[in-house]
Amino acid sequence: MERIACIPRDNWQQKVEAAGLTYHTPESEDPDGPQLDRAYWDETACYEFTAKEIDTLEAAGNTLQSMCLEAAQHIVDRKLYPELNIPTAAVPAIEWAWENAPPAIYGRFDIAYNGVDPPKLLEYNADTPTALLEAAVIQWAWLEEQHPNCDQFNSIHERLIAKWQDVAPYLSKPVYFAGLDNAEDQLTLAYLRDTAEQAQLPTVPVLMEEIGWNADRQAFVDPDERQMFSIFKLYPWEMMLEEEFGPAALETYKDIRWIEPIWKMLFSNKGLLPVLWELFPGHELLLEAYFDGHPHQMKSYVRKPLQSREGVNITMVRDGRTIAMSDGPYAGPQVVQALAPDAIFPDSQRPGESRYPVCGLWMVDQDCCGLGIRESGSPITGNLSSFVPHFFC
């Protein structure tokens, strides 16, 4: 694994926009807050892997998926929902969905990897993962221009279409694609809609706030009062359940195909990490992890809330000293997880500085099928971290 300085393609902005990535050079919404020190889509560098390293990452993703399925069954069997801070009201729907396996499409493992030590699981974004278009399409187009004689760990697009074809018989038509009105989410939704339509599924875009509840019909409806039966939502389950119509979503859960299904709350919760460590102590793909308050001897670790996103509310401690922190809105119970082996590469644009990559392993239909890399100038990967392409020969 090597970070290589690259010369960006001529008119790269127009090229990525033509492929759908309009969110390539965003600015922080807070003018007084942190700003990007480079484009979000960053092709001034790339990562080169060996075929053996790619095989290692693919095998890690597949192994972790099997381990997480076992961990979820353990949570269900042992009724560990309070430890994960999952509302009691959600448990019947979670257990029904776990038993009946309604359609699920995709997820992303975030992995620490430096090409030397074994890959280490940081967390599982299994409910609302983004950076999908960049991984599936944008970096593939970059590869074809910049390294046409090499390859890329990337069959995400084909796997998504095949998965939509697989679940089509279980979905009422049309399939609604719902999310928030922001650039990043809308890009992801537009791309997923495209893959569904390539699988011959009719789709309809809708904002989460446009989904209505018809009390007389006991049904969720679109802005035209049509009942909605199949809904892909790029919106976290834990947030849905806290809102006014959360109880209605639980009461009608068996009547609607929500994608991702509600059992994904077991995967997207950081409480999965200590459960995995309990079941597979010392496994080479895992980092030591505990629910906060559990006694441990770790001097170097990360503390993060059970339900947090985009690298916020994280505290990093090395040798008993805090080395990095990120503020954010998430509170509540936390986990502690051992620091991963350093994955640090020299910054070719700024001599003397470093870049910290995180490898995103994409899972579709239970299989690891692609890699996307986010990197930042600090140890915490956040919403402003850049996406950097990769290849192997």
Question: CB neighbours of 241 closer than 8 A, spacing ≥ 6?
Answer: 87, 89, 90, 249, 250
Instruction: Read off the pLDDT of residues 15-51 as tens digits, 9 standing for 90 and up.
Output: 999 999 988 886 544 444 444 557 899 999 999 999 9
Distance of CA 348 to the CA centre of its chain: 28
Of the candidates 264, 276, 261, the residue with the CA atom closest to the CA atom of residue 74: 276
Instruction: Read off the pLDDT of residues 221-252 as tens digits, 9 standing for 90 and up.
Output: 999 999 999 999 999 999 999 999 999 999 99
User: Whats the size of the chain, residue-wise?
Assistant: 393
Mean pLDDT of 172-185: 95
Of the candidates 61, 236, 230, 33, the residue with the CA atom closest to the CA atom of residue 135: 61
Instruction: Read off the pLDDT of residues 73-116 as tens digits, 9 standing for 90 and up.
Output: 999 999 999 999 999 999 999 999 999 999 999 999 999 999 99
Q: What is the maximum span of the chain, computed from C-alpha positions, in angstroms?
A: 65
In this predicted structure, what is the pLDDT of residue 26?
63
Number of neighbouring beta carbons within 10 Å of residue 100: 10
**Residue spans per domain, the chain:** 5-9+11-24+34-269+344-392
Q: What is the Cα–Cα distance from 374 to 382, expressed in whole angstroms? A: 9
Q: Where are the beta strands (DSSP E) in 20-127?
A: 45-49, 106-112, 120-125
Report the range of poorest mean pLDDT among 112-116, 210-214, 352-356: 352-356
In this predicted structure, what is the pLDDT of residue 110?
97
Q: What is the Cα–Cα distance from 48 to 14, expressed in whole angstroms? A: 25
Q: Are 157 and 194 in contact (CB under 8 A)?
A: no
Q: What is the Cα–Cα distance from 357 to 346, expressed in whole angstroms? A: 11
DSSP 220-247: EE-TT-PBP-EEEE-S-HHHHHHSTTHH
pLDDT at 370 over 90: yes
Of the candidates 373, 386, 375, the residue with the CA atom closest to the CA atom of residue 152: 373
Mean pLDDT of 338-355: 91
In this predicted structure, what is the pLDDT of residue 166?
98
Distances (CA, A) of 47 to 347, 359, 390: 12, 11, 5
Instruction: Read off the pLDDT of residues 256-280 as tens digits, 9 standing for 90 and up.
Output: 999 999 999 999 999 999 999 999 9
